[in-house]
Amino acid sequence: MRIRNFGLIALATGMFVISPLLAGQTPLKSGVPKEKTQNSKPAPGPHDLTGIWTGPYEESIIPNKLLTPWAAEKFNQQKTERQVGDRPIIYDGEKNNTDPLVKGCDPPGVPRVYYHPRPFEIMQIPGRLILHYEEYNTFREIWTDGRQIPNDPDPTWNGYSVGRWEGDTLVVDTIGFNGKTWVDNAGHPMSDAMHLTERFHRIDRDHMSIEYTFEDRKALTAPFTYKKTYDAHPDWEITEYFCTMEDMQEFYKHVMQPAGKGK
Amino acid sequence: MKIKMASIFAMTFGLLIISAPLLAHHGTAAYDYARTVNLKATITGFVWANPHCQIEFDAKDDSGNAQHWIIEAFNPAMLQRDGWTKGRESMKPGDEVTVSFHPSKNGEKVGILDKVTLASGQVLRQHAAQSQAPGDAPYR
């Protein structure tokens, strides 16, 4: 019995040791276009996250009851054109709108970049995943070369991400956020203390799930976990979506401000 | 039983209506999604740009008075996936079309697009391609 247990442990340990080596590899045959491979059987291996993915729009992710007093005050002071609780709605675009995506065309940052229904593409190369989100043309790297996450990385919009395979799940830790963006479209704030864990899992050829765990001692009183399934769209392409203030102001001048007049 | 079925239908339909206006950075509380206006229109401008495409047109109200409208649509990337394959050539000034849209609640001549029927009969919609996540209600 003891020997049998030992064998199981050795097997499990062995898998963990081997799996990072497989992280950058895909089962694609050379010379076969990705689209054809994705559309034919057999399905891609569990360690293959490559593809173009999309999910539905998400308004609010974080429950209000988990907000610290600091975060609750920030949340209640937000002003947007969205109906969120009793918060006042405004339509003047860049002037008094507090949404950083509207007010200054700021990058959505991670994780908010996921919550608009635009596709994102995952590319896997040895030691790295490259994520290209159509939303505000966001580029992001997840290191899978075995490096440790730095102790105190420079603050950025997307943070510093390191991933490792645990069985068939790629577990990605991200810290080093600048805290300037929102967690979600409703305006739940995040701080520079955010530790985001994403657990990527390829369910089958056409589906992938990501489980998000938010830990933020400045903004949240407890960790919060949330899971979403994404669809593969091998026939789509990621197209250019930059935000520019000139375009934004034109849109507000012509449509949004007249629509909100008298409110 | 009939009443029950009717209420289920109403609830489902209600959910579909509610889910549509959520799809924007800027929020769409200014628009009256309970109303859909259909107007025979002459295109006067078509802006194919982010964050939102804009359709400008002249139309006549019920009394025959000329009106000028500006309607927002989605953005180039999403509309192309919804079948607007001609892109910025989808419409040009002078085109005679039928525009269906949800008007602003305050009576200003602005709104958000439902669909455009071109002179050729082709119908250009939005939101169709972005609603395919499992368990997710279609936006329309």
pLDDT along chain A (263 residues), means of 10: 50 45 37 47 82 89 96 93 80 81 92 92 97 96 96 96 97 97 94 98 95 98 96 92 90 89 73
The pLDDT of residue A84: 82
Q: Is ipTM beyond 0.90? A: no
Distance of CA A183 to the CA centre of its chain: 10
For chain B, which ranges sit under pLDDT 70? 1-25, 127-140
The pLDDT of residue B9: 53
Sorted by sequence, the CB contacts under 8 Å of residue A232 that are 6+ apart come out as A38, A51, A52, A53, A205, A206, A207, A208
Chain A (46-85) residues lying within 8 Å, Cβ to Cβ, of chain B = 54-57, 59, 80-83
The pLDDT of residue A21: 40
| DSSP per position, B17-34 | HHHGGG--SS--TTB-TT
CB contact under 8 A, B29 and A185: no
Chain A (135-154) residues lying within 8 Å, Cβ to Cβ, of chain B = none
**Chain A environment of B52 (Cβ under 8 Å):** 251, 255
For an interface test with B, the pick among A90, A132, A256, A261 (most B C-beta atoms closer than 10 Å) comes out as A256
The pLDDT of residue A23: 39
A99 inside 8 A of chain B by CB: yes
Q: Structural domains in chain B?
A: 2-130 (2.40.50)
The pLDDT of residue B140: 23
The pLDDT of residue A260: 85
Q: Is A90 buried (19+), middle (13-18) or exposed (0-12) by CB count in 10 A? A: middle
B128 inside 8 A of chain A by CB: no
CB contact under 8 A, B25 and A229: no
**A231 → closest Cβ in B47, B109, B132:** B132
**Is residue A252 within 8 Å of A92, Cβ to Cβ?**
yes
CB contact under 8 A, A254 and B75: no
Count of A–B CB contacts within 8 Å?
103
Pairing of strands B66-72, B110-117: parallel
The pLDDT of residue B18: 42
**A242 → closest Cβ in B50, B109, B110:** B50
**Other Cβ atoms closer than 10 A to A138:** 21
Say how far apart CA A110 and CA A96 lie, in whole Å: 24
Say how far apart CA A201 and CA A226 lie, in whole Å: 14
The pLDDT of residue A89: 82
CB contact under 8 A, B22 and A243: no
Helix, strand or coil, per DSSP, at residue B60 = strand
CB contact under 8 A, B30 and A239: no
Q: Minimal Cα distance from B27: which residue of A?
A: A82
Strand partners, A198: A172, A212
Chain B (11-70) residues lying within 8 Å, Cβ to Cβ, of chain A = 22-23, 25-31, 47, 49-52, 54, 70
**Is residue B41 within 8 Å of B99, Cβ to Cβ?**
yes
